[in-house]
Structure 1
Amino acid sequence: MTSLHACFQSFDPDAFPQAAIAVSLGGSAHDVELPLHTHRKAQLVVALQGGVMCRTQDGLWMAPLGGGVWAPGGTPHSNRVTANGRVCMLFVEPDVPGLPDRCCTLSLSPMLIEMIRHLARQPTPDYAPGGHLDRIAQVILEELRRTEIAALHLPIPASPALRRIAEALIDNPGDRSTVGEWARRVAMSERTLTRLVVRETAMNFSRWRQQLQIVLALQRLSSGASVQSVAYDLGYESASAFITMFKAALGKPPAKYIAAAAPR
């Protein structure tokens, strides 16, 4: 099992004509793939242990244990695996129909994960058309067409002012500054900033910041951080306040959400 860095120094997924190929990777703490880069093939990064975050020019997508981040072919992207994480990567030809045409987080079934892992365990991705592995690949693609999209996405707007705020919050998610305080930092009125956030993200400022906190919370929880430490990092006065927010947003408290996402 190779690291993210080593994989793309020695492996070119676009060199293989198969509709779908897979490879297993190990990650180290804060292991980043490459700077923003593209493949001709689409890419699904499956979190087998820990979690993975995908960054594009337009946003962040988080896949906790048992989930996957999908990037269509030709999309500039970079992936970060949580500490002690393990992932599988599935690469899919861009002309395969019925698959997402935008970046997204997918909720993967245990069966689908096991099939992708089986494909990744093969000595070479260069399997013959019509053979056993080709048929498995076709089932994988059919299951992907039926997979649900999870709302684990933080839009990063095109506006320079909002990008500045987003980067600052990613670096310091515990910053509890008000909309008015952020507006002064980016030299605009509170009303203008409020309208700009809604126009570019389809969320109000509080909801946008909460979505950032959910994405970053899942990243930390997937790496094994405690609920209490995550709550503190995100600026909550108590773990119970963080748990209440998390449950309202995702339907389960953090521990149960992470447990439910784990492959059986």
Structure 2
Amino acid sequence: MERQVLTGPTIRPLGHRERIDWHDHAVHQLIHPLHGVLRVSTGRGSWVVPPNRGVWIPATVPHAHQADGPTEMRSLIFEEPIFDEPAVLVVGPLLREVIRTLSDDHDLPADLRHHLEQVALHEVRRATTLPLRLPAPADPRLVKLCELLADDPADQRSLRELGREVGAAERTLSRLFRAETGLTFPQWRAQLRLHHALRLLAAGHPVTRVAVDCGFRSPSAFIEAFRALFGTTPGRYRGA
């Protein structure tokens, strides 16, 4: 794994499905897609990050990125450990403009740059964090099962049916899901579907189409599940 040296704000254009492989940094990093959608992965799970969100990556935490659609990834660095774990944050208009200004203009006067960095620090400290992590298992049978469902979140097969494909009994898989993700299999699958829904919503797909593509029995069931996890409706989330 590569250690990438960061000395200040960065801009990185990414093409659709372009990936930045596993690496870490000696400093804390806030990653924000000014345009497009990022999937950010760590050893503990993955996050979907649309343009109204950012993800905090603590120093020395290995991570990787992949773009969904053409994406412009921006980042700021921080010496202060604001969050102990990776976290998705709401990026409001002020923080968004500060990120844009700091990363666009490397010739800012030193006093103005320092002031904007303090504004960014203040905004990150007060930002709302969101429960967007999809826990990642380690057992090879669970990894294979999760890959099957990630390829087709609308797959309706039961855990017993999926177990026959990955070579493990339903009871074994059920126990492993609880032990390795902290969730039951139905809870994990629902989280996966909502995780996938965030990407589709960020890409502009209508709510009814997202509900079908993510395997929900109806748009109303999708809206109810989305509201229960994220505290808002899919339509309001997309417009936030």
Match of 1:211 in 2: 191
Offset from partner CA, 1:208-237 (integer Å, 9 cap, x none): 111111111111211222223322322234
Structure 1 position 77, deviation (Å): 1.4
* Structure that is richer in strand per residue: 2
Report the secondary structure of 1:112's partner residue.
Answer: helix
Structure 1 position 257, deviation (Å): 1.1
Alignment length (residue pairs): 238
Match of 1:85 in 2: 71
Contact 1:13/1:91 (8 A) holds in 2: no
2:13 pairs with one of 21, 26, 36? 26
Match of 1:14 in 2: 5
- Find the aligned partners of 2:31 and 2:6 in 1 and give their Cα distance: 19
Structure 1 position 106, deviation (Å): 1.2
Amino acid at match of 2:91: L
- Find the aligned partners of 1:137 and 1:91 in 2 and give their Cα distance: 9
Offset from partner CA, 1:93-150 (integer Å, 9 cap, x none): 4xx24x112222112222222211111121358x74xx22122212312322222221
2:120 pairs with one of 123, 126, 140? 140
Structure 1 position 259, deviation (Å): 0.5
Match of 1:164 in 2: 144
Amino acid at match of 1:242: F
Amino acid at match of 1:24: I
Q: Which has the higher contact order (CA 8 A, sep 6+)?
A: 1
Offset from partner CA, 1:51-109 (integer Å, 9 cap, x none): 2210123311112231111222222211122324333212234xx24x11222211222
- Find the aligned partners of 2:172 and 2:237 in 1 and give their Cα distance: 37
Tell me if 1:74 matches 2:60. Answer: yes
Report the secondary structure of 1:206's partner residue.
Answer: helix
Report the secondary structure of 2:9's partner residue.
Answer: strand
- Find the aligned partners of 1:186 and 1:15 in 2 and give their Cα distance: 41
- Report the aligned-residue RMSD: 2.3
